Structure 1
Amino acid sequence: MGHRPALAVLDILRGEGVDRIFGNPGTTELPFLAALQDADDAPEYVLGVHEGAVVSMADGYARGTGRPAFVSLHVAAGLANGLIGLLNARRSRTPLVVTAGQQDRRHLQQDPMLSGDLVGLAASAVKATYDIQHARDLPLALRRAFALALRPPAGPVFLSVPMDLLTEDTEVEVPPRTSTPPLGPAPGLERAAVLLGAAARPAIVAGDGVGREDAFGALVRAAEACGAHVHHQPMADCLDFPTTHPLYAGALPPRHDAIRAALSPYDTVLIAGAHAFTPHHYSPGPPLPPGLTVVQLDSDPDEIGRNFAADAGLVGALGPSLHRLADLLREQVPAHTAKGRILRAGEHHAAERDRAESAARAAYSPAPLAPWAAAHAVARGLPPNTVVVEEAITVGLLLRRLVRLDRPGSYTHTVGGGLGWGIGAAVGRALAEPGRPVVAVLGDGCTLFGLQGLWSAARQSAPVLFVVMNNGVYRTLQDTYETMGGLGVCPGTELGPLDFTQAARFFGVDAVRAESADHLRELVAGAGQLTGPLLVDVPVRA
């Protein structure tokens, strides 16, 4: 059965499970908006007043629902504004399908206002692009885009759609949706189990693929089967292993020399779903210590051996593979051996956590707060079942050491590096999981980049607690400057005094300033009772 082009788009969106459209419209989107207006069961249009917030909301929504989110941007300028969010989504492997309306084809050669090379602009920030020139091609390309957005490695896919194409007086065929069979367990798990089973000091690096593919419980089983210490990958975007578990050994730092040092006590490591140990600051040498036996498991075949050699490279779905590996390891490692390792690891890691707790509690004071105290107050105030959306850079590193989380999906970050993601992502996450409290922990610089997202938070009455760590400086730049031998204050890093309560109220968001660490903890503890957004301005010592 045929449909007009705009109606065909809506038909495909319904079939793909799209119930919300994240957008900031312009003239080139008017034909699509008209179709939304006329349809009885069209997806809800979630408006953002800046494309950065629009894409970030879609990112948070896709992570919360596990489905590709749909984004509608406006011509070259709107796409350019959304590129930061698309770069973040690509690095974080968030599945998005993104369209932008191109100018009318009938005068495109005349270089009309708002026109541009949309495909060229988007190409470096997405997995794939489609330049639609014929109405008959749009449904097929859109089907492909949804499938490709989910295929490992997941990520955003872009389509350029001329505005006049959607108004053509023609009918197009909508191809049926084809269900893709899920990947199964990886071949070669028997040899991997032998390598890990023979290890005297096994370790696991939990990559973000574990969180994305809902393999959290399977990794716990595999770790317990051999008693392996578990580290999060550097700058992890997800909670990939419970931080409350006795085997949890913390996150690897984002430097090759520091990763080598952290992994040097082990003789064998399983690297599960980790993207190539993405470093932040350069240090010479490889990321892995010499002599380490490496088992690498990923659903993306391009990851195997990408940045380091693996003694066993396995390609398969992480959940089924890790469950199968756990069963095989129970045959290789005696139960008493695994239990002994878990007990010793728990004693060691508990002592480390106690030292961090003591240091943080000792720093409690009235505002302005020490960073340790601010991070601890947030971590201890979190209500049960909270989703933490973190874009706090320096305080976020401390927060990761202090949070006690054991539910999948309860910690979200972006390794993409494009600032301004956190506010929109938190709103999207609240829309995706309305029953869970959402606490967004943000740096003051990150908040400035994404401030327009507060408009959407107010518009959607999103019950998000926005916690802004306000130290008036780009702290991470100043810290790096000092490690490079810089003296004094690095030029271009001072923000000066900022009152984020005023900014929040301008957008219609209630706001309060934290007066002490105890006050901050109380405010965070109340996140589960929110019926709308609340911003907490936290003065932090620079």
Structure 2
Amino acid sequence: MPTVREAAFRVFEHFGVDRLFGNPGSTELPMLKAMPEGFRYVLGLNEAVVVGMADGFARSSGKPALVNLHSSAGTGHSLGNLFTAWKNNTPIVVTAGQQARSILPHDPFLFAERPTEFPRPYVKYAIEPARAEDVPLALVRAFVTAMTPPMGPCFVSIPVDDWERECDWPPLPDLTLRAVPSATGIERLAAMIDQSQKPALVIGTGVANAGGWEAAIKLAEKAGCSVWAAPYAARETFPENHPQFSGFLPAWRDKLRGLLAPHDAILVVGAPVFTYHVEGEGPHWPEHAALMALSDDPQHLASLPGGGGVLGDVADGLAQLARRVNARAFTGKSHQLKDPEPAMTSAYVLKRIAALRPERAVIVEEAPTARGPEHDTLPITREGGFYTCASGGLGYSLPAAVGVAKGQPDKVIAILGDGSAMYTIQGLFSAREEQANVSFVILNNGAYAALTGFSAEFGMNHVPGCDLTGLDFVKLAEAQGLAARLVDSVEDLDQALSWSFAQTGPTLLDVRIEYAIHSH
């Protein structure tokens, strides 16, 4: 009979897992005792880094990721990015070390009293199996649950003495996990579009997660739709240089309603209706417009404030709609890029990144203050070309960029705020260890500028604790083995960007930008 460890690694192999993201602890050592040849251990120096890397890898590779954490303290360190993985709908299976079963009644050192409760509600499934023999089946269920849309992380707590126990080989299912939208539902969506004069297509993260990029383009072009990115979309939505791309919807109800006012039919795909950041009043969309939603997430439909919706795989639904709707010409307005003047502003730096980036470069972003200028100057034009965190929690994108780089072949450009980067700065060590093809570009304005910019919503003109003056990212990078350069003038910018983009391993640029508040 196999050991639990042998059976577990057969489960991992079945689901296409060839590496383990972790930070080793005492209660995980038996899991690591005899890893199969070719199975890689990806080290992060903090559990937030570990989960961020795994998330980026899973999203870019299209495969589930495996994470190993320590019991309470290690799992606690991971929770910010585990919450982000939940909001990103990322298929991750987390195994967490638990103390030996025989000493659990004695409250041992480094144990978790209620291990399955700790990560909830931000996992789809959490279990500590009743018997060691049940661990492999729990892992199978965790992978299937993680990969079933809407995807998300799952959690399995495993006592340290389980790994050497004997068990049966688990049955390994061969499943198709996507549910096709009903033909009746697609007919309803098509009828709404066909009966309209100026239809709008609002695309969210779920379209990219389902691989619906090409299907969305076909539908928009056939039906003459104006295409908007849903508020806080955490993936690429539509080619931002396409004439039918209209722009980005804000997370403010009144502003959003104003932008959608020209439309008499609105189809929201792969996103809630809608994600807001502040309170608002009045209707959620223009009262004269019909609205329906297409999503693989039942909660998007359960929380609809009116309108109608269809549940099912969004890529399949978009493809069905593209075949079904009537053809018409596009008569809307195109999103217009801006051309900022040379200066050490985020807008100008992002413009130069757009001009100099390698053709297939992937953008991973966590610079909240620069999100507006990014929309104005740095168009995302390729499938798989953009990643950020759906949760709004900082500390995701630096390690995620390492994972994205290991999950696909193209150069990754990580555009990070100085405040964001400091949450998981030790992820640079993992970038060097993995030789990840990432250009880290720190937009360093010496402040939590996004927060000071948002403070006007609450009638404040000063926010304490936002001054980050004095951080030296060149020294921080060099201390972890990365080549790095300081950029503090327009004259040096292009040369520094070109140098960084030409490297095949990780580099960092500390770009000193002017402290300016952008609202978008």
Pairwise same-fold verdict (TM > 0.5): yes
- Aligned twin of 2:334: 349
- Aligned twin of 1:75: 71
Deviations 1:81-136 (A, max 9, x none): 01011000001111100010001111112111111222121112211101123122
CA distance in 1, matches of 2:170, 2:55: 27
CA distance in 1, matches of 2:356, 2:43: 32
- Aligned twin of 1:392: 367
Deviations 1:146-172 (A, max 9, x none): 11101121110001000011122x233
Displacement of 1:520 after TM fit? 3.0
* AA at the equivalent of 1:462: A
Deviations 1:440-480 (A, max 9, x none): 00010111101010010111111210000111111111111
CA distance in 2, matches of 1:276, 1:411: 22
Deviations 1:397-418 (A, max 9, x none): 3112322232111010112122
CA distance in 2, matches of 1:440, 1:502: 18
Structure 1 residue 196 corresponds to structure 2 residue 196: no
Q: CA RMSD in A?
A: 1.6
- Aligned twin of 1:32: 31
Preserved CA contact (<8 Å) 2:148 2:177: no
- Residues 176, 307 of structure 1: CA spacing in aligned structure 2 closer, same or farther, 3 A cutoff? same
Q: How does 1:89-104 map to 2 (within 5 A)?
A: 89-104=85-100
CA distance in 1, matches of 2:425, 2:76: 18
Displacement of 1:305 after TM fit? 4.6
CA distance in 2, matches of 1:297, 1:127: 21
- Residues 268, 120 of structure 1: CA spacing in aligned structure 2 closer, same or farther, 3 A cutoff? same
Preserved CA contact (<8 Å) 2:149 2:178: no
CA distance in 2, matches of 1:286, 1:94: 32
- Aligned twin of 2:3: 4
Q: How does 1:230-309 map to 2 (within 5 A)?
A: 230-309=227-306
Deviations 1:186-241 (A, max 9, x none): 32222321210121111010111110111001001111111111000101111111
Structure 1 residue 524 corresponds to structure 2 residue 497: yes
- Residues 490, 11 of structure 1: CA spacing in aligned structure 2 closer, same or farther, 3 A cutoff? same
* AA at the equivalent of 1:456: S
CA distance in 1, matches of 2:173, 2:511: 49
Which one of the candidate residues 383, 407, 410 is aligned to 1:432? 407
Preserved CA contact (<8 Å) 2:86 2:122: yes
CA distance in 1, matches of 2:198, 2:123: 40
* AA at the equivalent of 1:23: G
Deviates more, 1:374-383 or 1:223-232: 374-383
- Aligned twin of 2:84: 88
Displacement of 1:316 after TM fit? 2.2
Deviates more, 1:153-162 or 1:106-115: 106-115
Q: Where does the alignment leave 5 or more consecutive residues of structure 1 unmatched?
A: none
Preserved CA contact (<8 Å) 1:383 1:527: no
Question: Equivalent residue of 1:101, what SS?
Answer: strand
- Aligned twin of 2:45: 49
- Residues 493, 448 of structure 1: CA spacing in aligned structure 2 closer, same or farther, 3 A cutoff? same
Preserved CA contact (<8 Å) 2:207 2:213: yes
- Aligned twin of 2:137: 140
CA distance in 1, matches of 2:490, 2:182: 48
Question: Equivalent residue of 1:262, what SS?
Answer: helix
Which one of the candidate residues 493, 507, 511 is aligned to 2:466? 493
CA distance in 1, matches of 2:446, 2:255: 29
* AA at the equivalent of 1:458: R
Identity of aligned residues (%): 35
- Residues 67, 293 of structure 1: CA spacing in aligned structure 2 closer, same or farther, 3 A cutoff? same
Which one of the candidate residues 147, 152, 156 is aligned to 1:155? 152
Preserved CA contact (<8 Å) 2:27 2:97: yes
* AA at the equivalent of 1:184: V
Question: Equivalent residue of 1:114, what SS?
Answer: coil
Question: Equivalent residue of 1:493, what SS?
Answer: coil
Structure 1 residue 376 corresponds to structure 2 residue 361: no
Preserved CA contact (<8 Å) 1:377 1:517: no
- Aligned twin of 1:20: 19
Preserved CA contact (<8 Å) 1:389 1:439: yes
CA distance in 2, matches of 1:241, 1:518: 33
Deviates more, 1:128-137 or 1:16-25: 128-137
More helix by share: 1
Question: Equivalent residue of 1:231, what SS?
Answer: strand
- Residues 402, 295 of structure 1: CA spacing in aligned structure 2 closer, same or farther, 3 A cutoff? same
Question: Equivalent residue of 1:35, what SS?
Answer: coil
- Aligned twin of 1:412: 387
CA distance in 1, matches of 2:128, 2:177: 28
Displacement of 1:185 after TM fit? 4.3
- Residues 147, 181 of structure 1: CA spacing in aligned structure 2 closer, same or farther, 3 A cutoff? closer
Please report the TM-score for the alignment, with normalisation by the length of structure 1.
0.91
- Residues 111, 278 of structure 1: CA spacing in aligned structure 2 closer, same or farther, 3 A cutoff? same
Preserved CA contact (<8 Å) 2:203 2:237: yes
Q: Where does the alignment leave 5 or more consecutive residues of structure 2 unmatched?
A: 516-520
CA distance in 1, matches of 2:310, 2:500: 42
Displacement of 1:518 after TM fit? 5.6
CA distance in 2, matches of 1:308, 1:522: 51
Preserved CA contact (<8 Å) 1:99 1:158: yes
* AA at the equivalent of 1:393: P
Please report the TM-score for the alignment, with normalisation by the length of structure 2.
0.95
Preserved CA contact (<8 Å) 1:28 1:74: yes
* AA at the equivalent of 1:164: D
Preserved CA contact (<8 Å) 2:401 2:412: yes
Give aligned pairs, total. 513
Displacement of 1:310 after TM fit? 2.1
- Aligned twin of 2:447: 473
- Aligned twin of 2:167: 171
* AA at the equivalent of 1:78: G
Deviates more, 1:141-150 or 1:372-381: 372-381
Preserved CA contact (<8 Å) 2:265 2:291: yes
